[in-house]
Structure 1
Amino acid sequence: MSTRTDTTSQAGARAPGQREPTAPGFERLDAEYVLPLRWSEYRTGDVLELTDYLVRIAPNLDVTVVDGSPDDIFAAHHQLWADLVRHVKPDGEATANGKVAGVMTGIRLARHRAVILADDDVRYDRPSLERMVAELHDADLVRPQNYFTELPWHARWDTARSLINRAVASDYPGTMGINRDLVLELGGYDGDVLFENLELMRTIQAAHGRERRVDDLFVGRVPPRAAHFGRQRVRQAYDDFAQPARLVLELSLLPLLAWSIRRPLRLAGVAALAAALAEVGRRRAGGSRVFPATSALWAPAWLLERAVCVWVAVGSRMLGGAKYGDARLKTAAHSVPALRRKLTRADGRPGRGRRSTTSRPR
């Protein structure tokens, strides 16, 4: 493993495309950036790319990296990042979904009410950070829109899923803004579910937190390796157990395709409908700025994938749940009514008694 003493300057020198961290006169934002990660191996290229990103955002706001990597990898990361950001291990009780322990550690350590949670592949720039912080001034949950910064074939494939989500509601990004005070008041959220982002969102909604979906705030995301993309297929389908109506609809896809397969016109109609729906999502809220015109054409491929994988997910459910590391997680996420009942039992009142509000882009 490589080691460096001058983290900021050498990281910038070794990672191509280094930009100035902030423009002259930019003030630090009143927010905390929390990045939970757990890497099982040390890949020099990935570490340098993430270090370059931390160099760029650290001058803009306080950053906490909660690193659940094995000790040797944590130590190598610490050499690079200790003088750049706050780099710590997860504390508190372990959770079946290890990411939740990292998120809650970061939230507890946050120095600001406004917290931006982001997976290690999310890439903000200064304008998107500013917009997130501004939206959090009067919201408890802010959901932006991710898009892939590069487009290998599997990123184009997965983009179709995001576009269909945008067409019918909103996508589920790998980043969100939250009100630290509210989350701490609620005692955090369940760490034994598969779809942990949805669980956090619904916990805030159950407390009548103010949600804002900003579908025109586009935040970049580095695409995964193709092998990792492949491992996500069934897990993403399993998430639908937290969304029963969607689950029923997607379970009907395979019988529909089987019914259509001997009638080419029917099959073409299903494919055209999927592409048209994705195109609606691409154009909504300015999406055409970041989603290429060909993106919607991948929707039929994604539809076929989901038609198969959702039935594989049903099989996983019968075996005890979706695989997550060495364990299986049966619950995808709890419903808002179930979480509201849990909160009511905890303190006799649902959260802080707020009325839930959801707003679209302004």
Structure 2
Amino acid sequence: MSLFSPAGDARRTARRADGGHDGASTLPAQLPMTYVLPLRWHSDTGLAELTGYLRWLAGRVEVLVVDGSAPDLFARHADAWRGLIRHLPPDPAERGLNGKVIGVRTGLRAAGHDHVVIADDDVRYDEAALTAVHRLLDRADLVRPQNYFDPLPWHAWWDTGRTLLNRALGADYPGTLAVRRNTFLAMGGYDPDVLFENLELIRTMRAYDGIEAAPAWLYVRRLPPDATHFRGQRVRQAYDDLAQPARLLTALAVLPALAAAIAARRPALLLGAAAGTVALAELGRRRAGGTAVFPPATVLAAPVWLLERGVCGWLAVAQRFLLGGVRYGDTRIRRAAHSTHTLHRRPRPH
């Protein structure tokens, strides 16, 4: 099976938009794979739904939740998941600003299998996606699936504009990656003091000469955040672009270009730019069977998202130089991610 073309179960995954967690009459054989979920909750609003998903997962893979929640929430989770999954706190020997990375590093060391899925708490795999990832990890060191939102409230529609543009220009950054444990440990994991942890992991794997697969056809459902959380993430997500200079410069050019078009009284330029952005998003939507999971109206979100990024890009730069970094929990993180060149120059662990 090609690492970059749909086949078998993966083709069926691309056509599914229902999440696939209703269970089945016959329980499948468990895959030799570990599912690591780094968790740090401040409330248990979604505990019942997550527990149902973990119960479904536990019949198919080894499940390991690394829980950095407050002690009272940790105890509640322990009660809910006792006998169902492996539930443990982050390794106290780990140090770093990014709690998710600490959770991932703890989970990878504790994993019982070489094939490991790393997923945020809002990611919802189905059986076909798990099987496809497992097969891809036979030939790749890192697998980068494609997330889509279901359901699709207004703010998820808005953020899907970003997803479609990323797909048209290369690959999106999902809330889940899969890695080979042996490779991850051999390269020494990845830096816990950066904001854009998924990009840092991808670049660290590349610097280690690991094989990366980014199958645009491998769709994995993601639950949308609530609108309040979405609004609170806008500048922080824009801060990620500080690790990607071309994207940052594009974002910073949006407002000056808009102002120039308005000053010149050239509305046709604005309409043309919006239409071009929508057309680019449509290319991303049609790529690799994406029409099965991205509704047609999502392409209209692309120019709206681009305008938002143009505003938030300047706010992110201001936070970098005026405040010393972006707010992350109780601290600030200065670096979005290291460049691939920097990671290549680092000595490899022995």
Provide the TM-score with structure 2 as the length reference: 0.91
2:72 aligned residue = 72
1:328 aligned residue (323, 328, 332): 332
Conserved 8 A contact 1:164-1:277: yes
Structure 1 counterpart of 2:9: none
Name the CA distance, whole Å, in 1 between partners of 2:81 and 2:139.
Answer: 32
Structure 2 vs 1, CA of residues 18 and 194 (structure 1 numbering), >3 Å: closer, same or farther?
closer
Q: State the Cα deviation string for residues 215-254 of structure 1 (Å, max 9, x = none).
A: 1010000000101101111111110111111111211111
Where 2:137 maps in the other structure, the secondary structure is helix
Secondary structure at the residue paired with 1:170? coil
In structure 2, C-alpha distance between the alignment counterparts of 1:226 and 1:309, rounded to whole Å: 17
Q: Are positions 1:56 and 2:60 aligned together?
A: no
* SS, match of residue 333 in structure 1: coil
> Distance between the aligned counterparts of 1:115 and 1:277, measured in 2?
34
Match of 1:274 among 253, 274, 277: 277
What code does the residue aligned with 2:41 have?
A: W
Q: Once the two structures are superposed, what CA deviation does each residue of 1:73-122 show, in whole Å capped at 9, x if it has no partner?
A: 00001101121100110103232011111011110001111000000000
Alpha-carbon distance in 2 for matches of 1:131, 1:280: 24
Structure 1 position 343, deviation (Å): 3.0
- Which among 18, 28, 50 is matched to residue 26 of structure 1? 28
SS of residue paired to 1:77: helix
What does residue 314 of structure 2 align with? 311
Q: Provide TM-score, normalisation by structure 1.
A: 0.88
- How many residues are treated as equivalent by the alignment? 327
1:271/1:88 CA distance change after superposition, 3 Å: same
User: Aligned residue for 1:355?
Assistant: none
Match for residue 10 of structure 2? none
1:241 aligns with 2:248: no
Q: 1:80-119 residue pairs with structure 2 within 5 A?
A: 80-91=80-91, 92-119=93-120
Which secondary structure state, in structure 1, belongs to the residue aligned with residue 241 of structure 2? Answer: helix
Structure-1 residue corresponding to 2:40 = 38
Seq. identity, %: 55
3-state SS, counterpart of residue 137 of structure 1: coil
Say whether the 8 Å CA contact 1:186–1:343 is kept in structure 2: no
1: CA distance, partners of 2:261 / 2:307: 12
- What are structure 1's unaligned runs of at least 5 residues? 1-16, 348-362
SS in 1 for 2:77: helix
How do 1:197-346 residues align onto structure 2 when only pairs under 5 Å count?
Answer: 197-261=198-262, 262-318=265-321, 319-344=323-348, 346=349
* Contact 2:21/2:126 (8 A) holds in 1: no
In the alignment, the residues of structure 1 paired with residue 296 and residue 313 of structure 2 have an alpha-carbon distance, to the nearest angstrom, of 28
Q: Could you list the runs of 5+ residues in structure 2 that have no partner in the other structure?
A: 1-19
Question: Structure 1 residues 260 and 207, CA, compared in 2 at 3 Å: closer, same or farther?
Answer: same
Amino acid at match of 2:310: A
Contact preservation (8 Å) 1:207, 1:343:
no
Shift of 1:38: 0.2
Distance 2:61 2:281 in 1: 35
Alpha-carbon distance between aligned partners in 1 of 2:343 and 2:52, rounded to the nearest angstrom: 39
Question: What is the CA-CA distance between 1:257 and the residue it aligns to?
Answer: 1.1
- For the 8 Å contact 1:164–1:281, the answer to whether it is kept is yes
1:351 is matched with which residue?
none
Matching residue of 2:3: none
TM-align CA RMSD: 1.3
For residue 265 of structure 1, report the CA deviation from its aligned partner.
1.1
**Equivalences for residues 121-160 of structure 1 within 5 A:** 121-160=122-161
Measured in 1, the distance between the counterparts of 2:142 and 2:307 equals 33
In structure 2, what is the Cα distance between the partners aligned to 1:274 and 1:25?
A: 45
Instruction: Give secondary structure in 1 for the equivalent of 2:216.
Output: strand
What is the CA distance between 1:331 and its match in structure 2?
0.5
- For residues 293-319 of structure 1, give each alpha carbon's deviation from its aligned partner in whole angstroms, at most 9, with x where no partner exists: 111011111011001000000101112
The one-letter amino acid paired with 1:90 is P
How far is the alpha carbon of 1:185 from its aligned partner?
Answer: 1.1
Whether the aligned pair in 1 keeps the contact of 2:27 and 2:59 (CA below 8 Å) is no
Q: Secondary structure at the match of 1:63?
A: strand
> 1: CA distance between counterparts of 2:133 and 2:77?
27
Q: Per the alignment, do residues 150 and 25 of structure 1 end up closer, same or farther by CA in structure 2, a change over 3 Å counting? A: closer
Structure 1, 72-81 or 245-254: larger mean CA deviation: 245-254
Secondary structure of the residue aligned to 1:106 is helix
Q: Secondary structure at the match of 2:44?
A: coil
For 1:88, give the aligned amino acid: L
After TM superposition, the structure 1 stretch with the greater mean CA deviation from structure 2, 99-108 or 255-264, is: 255-264
Deviation at 1:263, TM superposition (A): 2.0
* TM-superposed deviation, 1:40: 1.2
Q: Which has the higher contact order (CA 8 A, sep 6+)?
A: 2
CA distance in 1, matches of 2:271, 2:66: 48
Q: Secondary structure at the match of 2:233?
A: helix
Take 1:23 and 1:277, find their aligned partners in 2: how far apart are those partners?
A: 43
DSSP-derived class of the 1:303 partner = helix
